[in-house]
Amino acid sequence: MTPRPALVGQAAVLLGELLRFSGPADQAVSRYFRAHRNFGREDRAFIAETVYAVLRRKRSLVAAAGSQEPRALVLAALVRVLGFSGRSMESSLQEGEADLITKVKSFDIRQLAPAEQFDLPDWLWERLQAQNGAGEAQKVAQALLNAAPLDLRVNLAKLARDEALQRLRQDGLEGQPTPHSPAGIRLKGKPSINKHPLFLDGSVEVQDEGSQLLAYLLAPRRGEMVADFCAGAGGKTLALAMLMRNSGRLYAMDVSAKRLSQMGPRAARAGVSNVHPIVLEGENDLRARRLSAKLDRVLVDAPCSGFGTLRRNPDLKWRQHPEAVAELAQKQLRILTAAAKLVKSGGRLVYATCSLLSEENEEVVAAFRQGAGEAFAELHCGELLAAQRIELQSGPRLRLWPHLHGTDGFFAAAFKRE
């Protein structure tokens, strides 16, 4: 394939917007495509893949190109990351850019420091190395440079996973069961799924396998009172509703009314009617306090740095900073402490993040346990999953890694209220 000059230029324009890091990259890309509806599907795919390649490899591409100019980085990504040859690029080059291509192709990445080689900010590399050791940190960092697969969660309340796989294959979509989640399907490639009949009727949802496992860790039962305390747009809420077989009461709580509003259409598609949204005014919202000590199970998927999702959100590593992580850790403890008050005696509490950093995970759990005293006993996550025939090598706390499990990076700890 020969990249068209116009598309190379458009990718450079979009990249220039993204490199301001004024907000999430996926939202900026969506806005750009809505403003340029003349792009075909292949055009959009080329532009998106190119700009995301730069976001993943920004530090090493800047070093290779000797420039931070968006067009130079686009050309560098096309050659070094996406594998276009110099010959195929000729028609897209402007004056002097042939020399840039030659320079980029001959650049030896091994001369760079590890943080630059693995395209991470220095501070983030240092923390991964301190936590995991240099060798393991390299494996984690390398895995985070890859694009994430497309995982689906089958709505088992509507059809079996094998039936969903068969119907997808009949329509030319290849997929396999995910290794651990009983409801998961991992598709081959990145097909457009949001117009498929199984998606439109709520039989499947897009959800990373690691995220699906959090629902199984909470393991809500039919007829129980359950809360998803940081529900967002409701992906995990719908997974919980599936396990509850649309019975009992499932409270979807979040401080963002806009995000919660997205759940209504999704719940309608899935045939879910037991979800009750509550827009929180803060961690100690009055309506939430009315449920104190009344709920059987509470999931706290706390807002976090999101570093476990860098395969799909590579801009996060350039937008986050150490001070923000410290602030998030304090917020996470406040949220977990507030959510714990809703759990009744004998009930289960699960704290989770999609962060890789111990200060958002183990350190928050340690602070919570110290504050809670003997009110909560920690449960063994591996045993909780094994009880549901989910075999996963896990210690008392769940740790999922892209290079080991093929999922986003996740952390979870489970507790029982005494």
CA 222 – CA 306 distance, rounded (Å): 31
Per-residue pLDDT tens over the stretch 339-354 = 999 999 999 999 999 9
**Shared domain check, 244 and 189:** no
192 pLDDT band, cuts 50/70/90, is confident
Task: Looking at the structure, tell me whether residues 224 and 369 fall in a common domain.
Answer: yes
Q: Which of 137, 172, 206 is the last residue of a domain?
A: 206
Single-letter amino acid, residue 144: L
Q: Is the pLDDT of residue 86 over 90?
A: no
Whether 389 and 253 map to the same domain: the answer is yes
Backbone angles phi and psi of 118, in degrees to 5? -95, 10
Output the domain CATH number for residue 336: 3.40.50.150
Mean pLDDT of 351-367: 97
Taking alpha carbons only, the member of 181, 275, 260 closest to residue 226 is 275
Residues 323 and 398 in one domain: yes
Whether residues 287 and 410 share a domain: the answer is yes
Scan for tokens 């406040």, then name that residue.
334
pLDDT-derived band of residue 1, with 50, 70 and 90 as boundaries? low
Taking alpha carbons only, the member of 251, 263, 262 closest to residue 287 is 251
Residue 306 belongs to domain spanning: 209-417
| pLDDT, the chain, mean | 94
Residues annotated as part of the active site: 354
Among the three residues 206, 227, 245, which one is the final residue of a domain in this structure? 206
3-state secondary structure of 288: helix
CA pair distance 227, 220, nearest whole angstrom: 10
DSSP 171: T
For residue 398, what is the DSSP state?
Answer: E
329 & 378 share domain: yes
Q: What is the DSSP string of 284-346?
A: T-HHHHTTTTTEEEEEEE-----GGGTTT-TTHHHH--HHHHHHHHHHHHHHHHHHHTTEEEE
For residues 107 and 132, state if they share a domain: no
How does residue 365 score in pLDDT terms, banded at 50, 70 and 90?
Answer: very high
Same-domain check for residues 104 and 131: no
On whether both 250 and 350 belong to a single domain, the answer is yes
Q: How many domains does the chain have?
A: 4
Least confident window among 98-102, 166-170, 238-242, 362-366: 98-102
Where is the domain boundary, 112, 136, 164? Answer: 112
Are 223 and 120 within one domain?
no
Residues 199 and 305 placed together within one structural domain of the fold: no
**Alpha carbon distance 288, 278 (integer Å):** 8
Same domain for 247 and 187: no
